[in-house]
Chain A
Amino acid sequence: MPSDPLVAQHVLEFPGGYTRTTGPVIGRFLSELRGRRIVGVRTNEGKVLVPPLEYDPATGEPVTAEYVEVGPAGTVTTWAWVDEPLEGHPLDRPFAWALIKLDGADTALLHAVDAGNAKALAVGARVWPVWSDRPTGHIRDISHFAPEVTKIVSSVRAEYRLQAGGALRVFLEGVRRGVFLGGRCESCDKVYVPYRASCPECGSGIADTLELPDTGTITTFAINNLPDPRAPQVPFVSAYILLDNADIPMIALIGDVPAHEVRQGMRVRAVWVPESERTASMSNIRWFAPTGEPDVELS
């Protein structure tokens, strides 16, 4: 016995393909496909066979000469999901095989459905044909079927240019220097931060800025599980921070602490980016981090 296997490859092929006549019934169906119409043929009993056969499979009698346009939409009656398409399949991405009862037909057409994933398809699903670019009179003139359109996505996008001119500019210039600027209303005796030009309570003008410390207390917070380009990671915590000496809290990110350890009353301090990187922008503050001081009782 030889020790090595003796193996040869061979291929069975009809070069150029095998020419077949269609006959009048199948030929009519394929010709209609070339015109992007799907037709069935009527049997003596009045049923519409799609795709058409020469004989009624129930009785064996020849079909009539009456062709009926059906669909183009239909309803899935049975389906199977292909995760790994083979060479020769209609689609090169995961798809379903389905029996589709086209509107007006009494039998089901077998074809591929491009539904994205298996969960997107069910018995009873409505599907529509997607035609190939250049129909030639072939079952694959229908490239595949696709689920009925039940929703669309409309995109909204507009661009704006904002300028920080008044009080906001004053505040941001403070941030550039590493300082939070607020303002006190003389008549209400309340300190607002960020700095603003008027008191939201009484309407009095606020003339002078007031430097506030960069320490404060968390009054409330939220744990966010959706990614945000400004956040360090997911989940991240955003919190209201009442800066010391201020009467109004400011919103900011909390960092350097696991999300589940953040609590109301926690003492925090702003973490500034290095001085050389500072600009007149809130990105100067990476986030607020716990100071380690005992919690504050919130009233």
Chain B
Amino acid sequence: MRDVAIVAFAQTRHTDHDAGQTEPELILPVIDEVKERTGLKRFGFTCSGSCDYLAGAPFSFVSALDALGAWPPISESHVEMDGAWALYEAWVRLQHGDIDSALVYGFGKSSLGDLNTIMTIQLDPYYLAPLGLDLLSYAALQAGAVGADRKELDEIVRRSRADGRANPYALDLPDPDGEDFAVQPLKKTDVPPITDGAAAIVLAAGDLARELCPNPAYIRGIAHRIEPHYLGMRDLSTSASAADAARAAGVGKGPVEVAELHAQFPHEEIILRRALELPGETVINPSGGPLAANPVMATGLIRIGEAARRILDGDASRTVGHAAGGPCLQHNLVTVLEA
């Protein structure tokens, strides 16, 4: 295994509305920022994550390449999922040994349509999508299966929103109050905000990592696991795939100072904390997490970026970044980062 590290991370100041930027306009500032931080103008490999259904435009990732400088031809790939999986692909690519740097980015504007029903399109077309099962409804089914204490859920939302207010990139959102239900048992304040935004990360391998950055965040473990898509074939109160991915990535091999979890709903944080076997000392989502800013398709990449930033800044020596995809935490990716 080659040593591969995160050497730069940048994200947009996310908005809760469409600020009118095209996708290249959204991405350009974060690409420029990581280029400036690393001094790199070209990368051995480029990989992005996004979802055409957010904008309702096919191949929207192709037009987004305008922000990169794709000529002369670059070595490029795309995943139709969160940018965290683009990072995984780039990490695999770097393991080949012939290149030393990779640019990874993710972006999404969930303000353009009705995200709740757009996410219905990701469900299987035979059994679930024809029912019109929406994002909040399947999340509420999982919340029901967890059966968590309401006070604990409210506390997770309150903590996330307070941390979000202290994070200049996240949104300023109200604290939970009242009993206004989205889909019971989920309250409206349990729902992640509609967010537009993007993020970029630079990976470097071998000696290049230390040349580009005084405190590279080395990827000491990275793994992803997936479960059956159909919700009735799983125990929704737990996440076997998150637990397996955490074990494969070696989360438990040392203390975790900070964990950034892709928990869009407060009950997901409870499931993930248990699956990753995180002790009480681990600080969860100091950035505010997805409950404070949820730019879909960049949210997971931002979790890894935020976990890396603690090491890049010299504030932590061992952190975990987590990303999730699919309905009810179907697919989980866990990254262990060390100084």
Q: B-facing mask of A97-136, CB < 8 A → 1, else 0?
A: 1111000000111111000001000000000000000000
**Which listed segment binds A: B80-88, B91-99, B182-190, B205-213?**
B182-190
Within 8 Å by CB of B183, from A11, A80, A110, A140, lies A80
Q: B-facing mask of A3-18, CB < 8 A → 1, else 0?
A: 0011000111000001
Residue of B nearest to A50 (CB): B232
Within 8 Å by CB of A86, from B134, B232, B233, lies B134
Complex interface residues of chain B between 37 and 89 (CB less than 8 A to chain A): 53, 56-57
Per the bound structure, the CA–CA distance linking A90 and B128 in Å amounts to 11
Tell whether, in the assembled complex, residue A140 and residue B130 are in contact, meaning their CB atoms are under 8 Å apart: yes
Given A78-B141, A78-B236, A107-B232, CB of A51 within 8 Å of CB of B127: yes
A289 contacts the other chain (Cβ, under 8 Å)? no
A170 contacts the other chain (Cβ, under 8 Å)? no
A93 contacts the other chain (Cβ, under 8 Å)? no
Tell whether, in the assembled complex, residue B231 and residue A89 are in contact, meaning their CB atoms are under 8 Å apart: no
Q: What's the tally of chain A residues with a CB closer than 8 Å to chain B?
A: 41
Within 8 Å by CB of A111, from B126, B131, B134, B227, lies B131
Complex interface residues of chain A between 241 and 294 (CB less than 8 A to chain B): none
Q: A-facing mask of B134-167, CB < 8 A → 1, else 0?
A: 1001101111110000000000000000000000
Q: A-facing mask of B242-254, CB < 8 A → 1, else 0?
A: 0000000000000
A68 contacts the other chain (Cβ, under 8 Å)? no
| Most chain A CB neighbours (cut-off 10 Å) among B53, B130, B143, B186 | B130
A79 contacts the other chain (Cβ, under 8 Å)? yes
Which residues of the other chain, B, contact A11 by a CB distance below 8 angstroms?
Answer: 56
Tell whether, in the assembled complex, residue A109 and residue B232 are in contact, meaning their CB atoms are under 8 Å apart: yes
Which residues of the other chain, B, contact A97 by a CB distance below 8 angstroms?
Answer: 133, 137-138, 140-141, 183
B178 contacts the other chain (Cβ, under 8 Å)? no
A203 contacts the other chain (Cβ, under 8 Å)? no
B116 contacts the other chain (Cβ, under 8 Å)? yes
Tell whether, in the assembled complex, residue B233 and residue A49 are in contact, meaning their CB atoms are under 8 Å apart: yes
Q: A-facing mask of B284-305, CB < 8 A → 1, else 0?
A: 0000000000000000000000
Complex interface residues of chain A between 49 and 97 (CB less than 8 A to chain B): 49-51, 53, 57, 77-83, 86-90, 97
Which residues of the other chain, B, contact A138 by a CB distance below 8 angstroms?
Answer: 130
Residue of B nearest to A112 (CB): B131
Tell whether, in the assembled complex, residue A80 and residue B184 are in contact, meaning their CB atoms are under 8 Å apart: yes
A22 contacts the other chain (Cβ, under 8 Å)? yes
B120 contacts the other chain (Cβ, under 8 Å)? yes
Q: A-facing mask of B220-241, CB < 8 A → 1, else 0?
A: 0000000110111100100000
Residue of A nearest to B128 (CB): A110
Which residues of the other chain, A, contact B117 by a CB distance below 8 angstroms?
Answer: 86, 88
| Most chain B CB neighbours (cut-off 10 Å) among A20, A79, A80 | A80
Which residues of the other chain, B, contact A112 by a CB distance below 8 angstroms?
Answer: 131
A26 contacts the other chain (Cβ, under 8 Å)? yes
Which residues of the other chain, A, contact B131 by a CB distance below 8 angstroms?
Answer: 89-90, 110-112, 139-140
Which residues of the other chain, B, contact A57 by a CB distance below 8 angstroms?
Answer: 227-228, 230, 233
Tell whether, in the assembled complex, residue A80 and residue B132 are in contact, meaning their CB atoms are under 8 Å apart: no
Per the bound structure, the CA–CA distance linking A99 and B138 in Å amounts to 10
Query: Separation in Å of the A114 CB from the closest CB of chain B?
Result: 14
Residue of A nearest to B180 (CB): A83
Tell whether, in the assembled complex, residue B126 and residue A26 are in contact, meaning their CB atoms are under 8 Å apart: yes
Per the bound structure, the CA–CA distance linking A86 and B230 in Å amounts to 21
Query: Separation in Å of the A12 CB from the closest CB of chain B?
Result: 4
| Most chain A CB neighbours (cut-off 10 Å) among B116, B131, B132, B228 | B131
Per the bound structure, the CA–CA distance linking A112 and B56 in Å amounts to 28
Residue of A nearest to B142 (CB): A78
Which residues of the other chain, A, contact B138 by a CB distance below 8 angstroms?
Answer: 97
Within 8 Å by CB of B232, from A6, A87, A90, A99, lies A99
Which residues of the other chain, B, contact A140 by a CB distance below 8 angstroms?
Answer: 130-131
Query: Separation in Å of the B142 CB from the closest CB of chain A?
Result: 8
Can you name 6 extra interface pairs (CB under 8 A) apart from A50-B232, A89-B132, A138-B130?
A51-B127, A81-B183, A82-B184, A86-B117, A107-B232, A139-B127
Q: Can you identify 7 A-B contacts, CB atoms within 8 angstroms? A: A78-B236, A81-B183, A81-B184, A81-B185, A89-B132, A108-B233, A110-B131
Interface residues of A, Cβ cutoff 8 Å to B: 5-6, 10-12, 18, 20, 22, 26, 30, 49-51, 53, 57, 77-83, 86-90, 97-100, 107-112, 118, 138-140
Interface residues of B, Cβ cutoff 8 Å to A: 20, 53, 56-57, 116-117, 120, 125-128, 130-134, 137-138, 140-145, 181, 183-186, 227-228, 230-233, 236
